[in-house]
Amino acid sequence: MQFIKSIEQQMIQWRRQFHKNPELGFMEYRTTAYIYRHLKKLQFKTFIGQEVMSDSARYGLPAKATLRHYEKTVLKQGEIESAIFCEIKDGFTGVIGQIKSKHSGPHSAFRFDIDALPITETTEKSHHPYKNNYTSTNKGVMHACGHDGHIAIGLALATYISKRINQLTGTFTLIFQPAEEGGRGAHAIVENGWLDGVDYFYSGHIGLNDLDVGTVALAANGFLASTKIDVLFKGEASHAGISPEKGKNSLLAAANAVMNLYAISRHSEGISRINVGKMIGGTGRNVIAPSSKLEIETRGETERINRYLTERALAILEGSAKMYDVSLKKEVVGQTNVVNCHPELIEKLFNHIQTDDYIKNVLKITDVSGSEDVSFMMNRVHNHGGKATYMIFGANIKHGHHHPSFDFNERVLTIALDVYIQALGIFNKRR
Amino acid sequence: MQFIKSIEQQMIQWRRQFHKNPELGFMEYRTTAYIYRHLKKLQFKTFIGQEVMSDSARYGLPAKATLRHYEKTVLKQGEIESAIFCEIKDGFTGVIGQIKSKHSGPHSAFRFDIDALPITETTEKSHHPYKNNYTSTNKGVMHACGHDGHIAIGLALATYISKRINQLTGTFTLIFQPAEEGGRGAHAIVENGWLDGVDYFYSGHIGLNDLDVGTVALAANGFLASTKIDVLFKGEASHAGISPEKGKNSLLAAANAVMNLYAISRHSEGISRINVGKMIGGTGRNVIAPSSKLEIETRGETERINRYLTERALAILEGSAKMYDVSLKKEVVGQTNVVNCHPELIEKLFNHIQTDDYIKNVLKITDVSGSEDVSFMMNRVHNHGGKATYMIFGANIKHGHHHPSFDFNERVLTIALDVYIQALGIFNKRR
Amino acid sequence: MQFIKSIEQQMIQWRRQFHKNPELGFMEYRTTAYIYRHLKKLQFKTFIGQEVMSDSARYGLPAKATLRHYEKTVLKQGEIESAIFCEIKDGFTGVIGQIKSKHSGPHSAFRFDIDALPITETTEKSHHPYKNNYTSTNKGVMHACGHDGHIAIGLALATYISKRINQLTGTFTLIFQPAEEGGRGAHAIVENGWLDGVDYFYSGHIGLNDLDVGTVALAANGFLASTKIDVLFKGEASHAGISPEKGKNSLLAAANAVMNLYAISRHSEGISRINVGKMIGGTGRNVIAPSSKLEIETRGETERINRYLTERALAILEGSAKMYDVSLKKEVVGQTNVVNCHPELIEKLFNHIQTDDYIKNVLKITDVSGSEDVSFMMNRVHNHGGKATYMIFGANIKHGHHHPSFDFNERVLTIALDVYIQALGIFNKRR
Amino acid sequence: MQFIKSIEQQMIQWRRQFHKNPELGFMEYRTTAYIYRHLKKLQFKTFIGQEVMSDSARYGLPAKATLRHYEKTVLKQGEIESAIFCEIKDGFTGVIGQIKSKHSGPHSAFRFDIDALPITETTEKSHHPYKNNYTSTNKGVMHACGHDGHIAIGLALATYISKRINQLTGTFTLIFQPAEEGGRGAHAIVENGWLDGVDYFYSGHIGLNDLDVGTVALAANGFLASTKIDVLFKGEASHAGISPEKGKNSLLAAANAVMNLYAISRHSEGISRINVGKMIGGTGRNVIAPSSKLEIETRGETERINRYLTERALAILEGSAKMYDVSLKKEVVGQTNVVNCHPELIEKLFNHIQTDDYIKNVLKITDVSGSEDVSFMMNRVHNHGGKATYMIFGANIKHGHHHPSFDFNERVLTIALDVYIQALGIFNKRR
């Protein structure tokens, strides 16, 4: 508690700094460098680049040109040391810090996601970041999902562990994961073996449902299995006035696919979701559009429902391509599974975590409905005999996640830190 | 004929130079500067910037940011004198050159369009510009409609007039018009009065139908009335997994509009066309798309048919917005009318224009079906008692206009020049 | 048990007789007459025609011509006495039987639905009714939802109550309700006051989920609120070859509405459903379709979700009409609410109902997801201080309800009867 | 002229009698019988039943049940002799009458179409048939295309030929063709060889464009090639509330096909048309629709354009079936070709046909845009060296063909007769 109090202002400052400098998934270069330096200073053994992630297991890497363009901007700002930059360029962002107590004990891992979203932040006067002058300076990019807060919590927890390492037992792994949005980064970290042998795994999210600040749910139910698909229809251009029939209209094929994708039937066995979040089609007004792209995602309460959706989506995409005699390319660029928090771990946490100046109310479990690639990590932990959970930290969210006006009550930062520190007290405390 | 022979190589070189350096409508900065300098040198009185075009009468000006971005690139290349650049920046491209003989006579005007298209040129080996090393160096932009040739013809004609001014009578106006594609530039030139008082007006196009090289049609039938509309649907973002029903899906509204726009009925009174050449919707895969844009055009054999299409399109756009509870903004960004060539002028030309080493075959009239904002100019000339025509110069086009492999036989350049020079011989020759 | 055994064969015979003679909602003329005669014979006070249902409160009455046509067929068969027929014609089907013990006691009501579906029964050899020669003789109509069994259970229960009236206490109302399918008949019975003052209300359904024969659930969770809407788009005919643009295409408006109705977003608060079960549009191939009809239904886990769906549906219908400049007529023809079984009644039943030769397994509650207009009755009972429940009788259904091969294990008939008799033993037994 | 005057009142009476008793294609039983008796009386050699049409070459025969149902109605009315009825039942309607002069001469054939449309006639007071009490007595069926008038002209012409047979030369074939609507009957008559060896062939239509009464066009330009297709999507039923995902939604497949069919591109080579005139889908509101039907037609100014349309339509139908995992059955049920009138015949007619009390104005040719299966007959005549034309008889049509208020000025009857009689005077008159 003393520690928490002492670091509170620092946490808020961190959060605002990251909020002001948001970076998209696999391009969190400055974010990664900052975290890396901090962990280093705290005596963590630090890992970056291909040590963190398996190259080929990353889903949905941005196009080369996009990476290059942002890397240039970053280099121009000149804040990152070459030693770091050379490791993390080409989308190898994220840091893992590890530290061992000299006293043996279990291996506990924590995961914090660090990426932002392609959303333009509001400039409404009532928006807290606007009033307090820390809105995004990276145009069109925004921390609209609370990951800025997650990083701040992770840095504070690292500080705590480092300072108290002698009173703790066992091993601590802090994973700062890139590209959570779209379910793209976790899988590649898991593939590098970072979760193998972890005894206790914790991650969590600020908000996600309407819990009050001070309320903490020790586990989340209802994360959905999800698949992210990129689609390209390729047809043929033709002058729309002179010879429209000679074109093969990719834009019509895509628009038609959109209509029918949303019309995929509900499933009687549980929640299903389908979204086409982006469509870019055509080259010019008077040209039959030669190529069009869609970004699609499906979600299901079970993997079976999600599979139903992806199979139906596939048939629709193929049918639409057939209709317009255009070719179809599709690529799975992200994937998440259903998450199951470990009941024994939840029980243990529930028996030990206490309310105090920060935590006002502890729930065993709460319902959410998003998708999280932390699922890959948790499932790997469980498969190796460990126990994992994913918590929700109430934060009185007013505008939903991914909204241009998204914001949270900053008190949640200390509350989450408190929960994690108390959790350490159960399994990793020297007695 | 002597003159034509002497300038043939120069014309080909001009054409290839412009082909290599294509620029989009209202951003033909380097093109404009080059033409300006050439006319100046030939003793033409030259006009640029707001002298050429009325600011507010320009349709479909590119976004400020797009203009700014290209202007920066151009400035960096450092080829344009500030005196010119300051006049033409902000999309005031195009040049008008005027020269008077000391012998009185009629006022003849010629119009050449100078803009390129947002098309990526092919790199097939059989493509003539590729083989001969003059493909576009401005990525994603291409002279795929022959305007590079039109400029070359214009420059050669200017040279002819300048050199023979003493043997000619009357006044000559050469209009190098920006932004013909999309029907955007002509209207603003007309509004500045440049066509008022013109006695004879000539323009023309390389190719447009399958006439052979050597064949010239003295008039074109069948240009369509056309309207270009930009559409913006604005909805509301929401997380596609957590609260899809809270979003207002602009992308669905737009895709649905697309489907129904193409379904607008054919018209029993003649040719109709509808195209959605571009759609850009949404921000990210897992967000209900908050805004989506469409670029639409309609065409009709008569203004009545075109009006029918735009009225139906409007109802569809409004209906789709209503369906998805999203707002709708629409803007007319281009317009062309039906073109009528003057029968007396055609008759005169037909009686006088001779076949020779260049021209092999003269047709009175041919059928095309595109849209041209030269219509604004021709209608203005007719309204003031002048006579206008629009010619087609056969060019053995293999790949249609606006195709990435578009090319034409360069012999057409001298043929077109020959026709224009012979036309001068009818009305503006000192006898 | 003795009684149940004695009536088992009769129940099977009844069930098969009704299966062979299925009748659509509000046209159950022969069914009604049969039940009426049976109740009469058992000394029930019987009610038919407008005593049963309020004229104006019936939803979704078939068209006059449809009623007339079937009434003629029925009359030709000559099986119904004029006295009955005159009361029930014009869609006033259904019977209510009431009987009072001389011993005072509570008022218990039971509801049995009696209508069939517009489905053509299978002629697969493995189909039980086919093998045993009792498939539908009313072409295109089928008891594919088990209501034939419900009637058999009702008639058997009536026989029991009548024979044991002296050992029972209180009042008994048996409601044989027409037009359950589509949520059309219950509301009009409720409006006539039949549920006011009922102390205990029971209804139930054969099957509905995959419970085994012998298993009984004393309450059902998860019936959905539902709204049924009939839609008529009216446009204008025109010759599709000669003047297509003069038509106003109702078929396009309807097809477009279909596409967009299915695309209504899922709802984060629970189950939602949308269906367009029927579309009839146009008059002839070469005519722009002057009018088109849709039959739509929405369902929601809560009334709020259902309202969301109907509001979205409305906007879509209006938007589509606007798009095609056609008029829109819509009519709510059916409605069901969310059903809540009374927890005290469930508890009481659970404590008293015993397994025996028929009942093998008793569950308190089970999950289903359909919609039932029994909801109107149950809500009315609760509003007047009574207690209501809706049970599910396991029946090993292989093909889902409303499937052409639907069938159930006939043992369920005696099991359901057993449950109802045991329920009487709790509240209405003389001790 | 004397003859024309004498038969005028009779023609009007015939026309009104047929207008009052319209019959659909391939079910013109009473119409056929009447014509047959009349021709018989006039000494024509008459042919009916399979002599007229090849069984298998008939397109789009109504369903057996439909034929049966109407045949019963007709039999009940008891107006048709068994001898006739037995030949023409099963959709073998139509009559051919043949008569030979004893003087040798060319073979002239005339064709009159006799079927009505599935349109409900208006009951507006201003409607001429309504005011004069001869509206349709066959509910839902109407002579809304003038074929009632065509029959009257044919009967009058038969009378003329019969009476004047001694003053004429050669052979005369009068074809009263069933099922012209939908392009269904002509092909089967051609297949039986009736047009082989015909020297001069005439047919025509009342109205079709806005010519005045008194004006006659000796040939029609612009009949479109056309294909009529019936489509059946077969999916699988399922309860829309309980297990929507188990259904295969034929109605969505059909609605989606409709949207995309109308979106088939215009064709740069000429007129194209596409229409879905009818859609019937689904069984009940709460069932995923197991089967859905469409009635489609395409038309093109050239056979190439029409083929483009049918090929695109096919791809769309197959794509939509694929999308929804439903099966697709499609059948071509009608076909017409482009019609070319013979220029020499037109020239001859134009030189000889005189204006008089009836004919006020003679045009060589006029433009129309419908489709006519007379095209099969004319093409066959031309292929065998004969000469054919198709005329338009101006009739001041106010409401378009196929409109519920369609009507024509009855003066056109004598005018058309006059034209045909004058035509006989050119080639078949004894001199």
Written as one string, the DSSP assignment of A311-369 is HHHHHHHHHHHHHHT-EEEEEEEEEE------HHHHHHHHHH----SS--EEES-EE--
For residues C251 and C281, the answer to whether their CB atoms sit within 8 Å is yes
Q: Is the confidence at residue B282, as pLDDT, over 70?
A: yes
CB contact under 8 A, A281 and B286: no
Cβ burial A65-97 (10 Å sphere, 16+ → b, else e): eebeebbeebeeeeebeeebbebbbbbbbbbbb
Q: Which of A20-29, C152-161, C235-244, D383-392 has the lowest mean pLDDT?
A: C235-244
Beta-carbon separation of B280 and A284 below 8 A: no
Contacting partners of chain C (3+ CB pairs under 8 A) = A, B, D
Model confidence at D412, pLDDT cuts 50, 70, 90, reads: very high
Q: Are B179 and B228 in contact (CB under 8 A)?
A: no
Average the pLDDT over B352-377 and give the result.
Answer: 90
What distance in Å separates the CA atoms of residue A384 and residue A190, rounded to the nearest whole number?
12
Instruction: Report the C-alpha gap between C202 and C218 in whole angstroms.
Output: 10
Q: Do C266 and A271 touch (CB under 8 A)?
A: yes
Q: What local confidence, expressed as pLDDT, does residue B369 receive?
A: 66
pLDDT tens-digit map of A157-193: 999 999 999 999 999 999 999 999 988 999 999 999 9
- For the residues B124-131, what does the mean pLDDT come to? 94
Is the pLDDT at A291 greater than 70, yes or no?
yes
Tell which of C228, C275, C330, C405 to mutate to test the D interface (max D CBs under 10 Å). Answer: C275
Q: Which of residues 127-166 of C touch D (CB under 8 A)?
A: none
Cα–Cα distance, C82 to B329 (Å, whole number)? 66
B400 vs D108, residue with greater confidence: D108
pLDDT tens digits, one per residue of D32-44: 999 999 999 999 9
Alpha carbon distance B48, B89 (integer Å): 10
Domains for chain B: give ranges and CATH numbers.
Answer: 2-223+339-427 (3.40.630.10), 225-335 (3.30.70.360)
pLDDT at C369: 66
Q: How confident is the model at residue A90 (pLDDT cuts 50, 70, 90)?
A: very high
Q: How far apart are CA C263 and CA C274, in angstroms?
A: 9
Higher pLDDT, C209 or D59: D59
What span, in angstroms and rounded, lies between the C-alpha atoms of B12 and B34?
A: 16
DSSP H or E segment with residue C253 = helix C250-262
Nearest CA-CA partner of A177 in A299, A31, A64:
A31
Chain C window 317-336: which residues touch B at a Cβ cutoff of 8 Å?
318-325
Q: Which of A260, A262, A297, A305 to mutate to test the interface with C (most CBs of C within 10 A)?
A: A262
Give the percent of chain B with pLDDT over 70: 100
* pLDDT of B32: 97
Angle between helices C250-262 and C303-324 in degrees, nearest 10: 150
pTM attached to this predicted model: 0.78
Note the pLDDT of residue C372.
Answer: 87
> Which 8-state DSSP code applies to residue A210?
-
pLDDT computed for residue D369 by the predictor: 66
Q: Across residues D239-247, what is the average pLDDT?
A: 89
Query: What's the pLDDT score for residue A204?
Result: 95
Using a CB-CB cut-off of 8 Å, the residues of chain B touching D260 are 259
User: Who wins on pLDDT, D8 or D286?
Assistant: D8
- Rounded to a whole number of angstroms, the CA Rg of chain D reads 23
Confidence band for B210, pLDDT divided at 50, 70 and 90: confident
| Closest chain A C-alpha to B107 CA, distance in angstroms | 33
Q: Does D29 contact A at CB distance below 8 Å?
A: no
pLDDT confidence bin for A369, thresholds 50/70/90:
low
pLDDT, mean over chain B: 94
String of DSSP letters for D379-406: HHHHHTT-EEEEEEE----SSPTT-TT-
- C360 residue type, one letter: K
- State mean pLDDT over D160-175: 97
Contact B263 D266 (CB under 8 A): no
* A263 in reach of chain C (CB within 8 A): yes
Q: What are phi and psi of B378, to 5 degrees?
A: -65, -40
Could you tell me the end-to-end alpha-carbon distance of chain B, in angstroms, rounded to an integer?
A: 19
Q: Does D240 touch chain C (CB under 8 A)?
A: yes
Q: What is the pLDDT of residue B397?
A: 86
* Dihedral pair phi/psi, residue B202, rounded to 5°: -130, 135
Element holding B330 (H helix, E strand): strand B327-336
- ipTM score over 0.90, yes or no: no
CA–CA dist A387, A382 (Å, integer):
6
Smallest CA–CA distance from B369 into chain D, residue = D268
- Over 90: is that where the pLDDT of D367 sits? no
Q: In what side-by-side order are the strands of the sheet with C327-336? A: C327-336, C225-234, C291-300, C272-281, D272-281, D291-300, D225-234, D327-336
Query: Nearest Cβ partner of A255 from B181, B259, B275?
Result: B259
Chain C residues whose CB is inside 8 A of the B288 CB are 265
* Section A419-424 average pLDDT: 97
Nearest of D249, D246, D245 to residue D235 by alpha carbon: D249
Residue B82 banded pLDDT, cuts 50, 70, 90? confident
Q: Suggest the residue from A285, A298, A324, A392 to mutate for an interface test with chain B (most B CBs closer than 10 A).
A: A285
Handedness of CA D55, D60, D61, D63 (dihedral sign): positive
**Does residue B400 sit at the A interface (CB-CB below 8 Å)?**
yes
**Subunits close to B (at least 3 CB pairs below 8 A):** A, C, D
CA atoms within 13 A on the CB side of D112: 29
Least confident range of A411-420, B203-212, B264-273: B203-212
Given a cut of 70, whether residue A313 has pLDDT beyond it is: yes
CB contact under 8 A, A262 and C266: no
B280 has a pLDDT exceeding 90: yes
Which residues does chain D have within 8 Å of residue A288's beta carbon, measured at their own beta carbons? 265
Whether residue A368 is predicted with pLDDT greater than 90 in this model: the reply is no
Q: Is the pLDDT of residue B185 over 90?
A: yes
pLDDT band (50, 70, 90) for residue D284: confident
Mean pLDDT along residues A7-32: 97
Interchain CB contacts (distance < 8 Å): B and C: 70
Residue A272 with chain C: CB contacts under 8 Å: 266
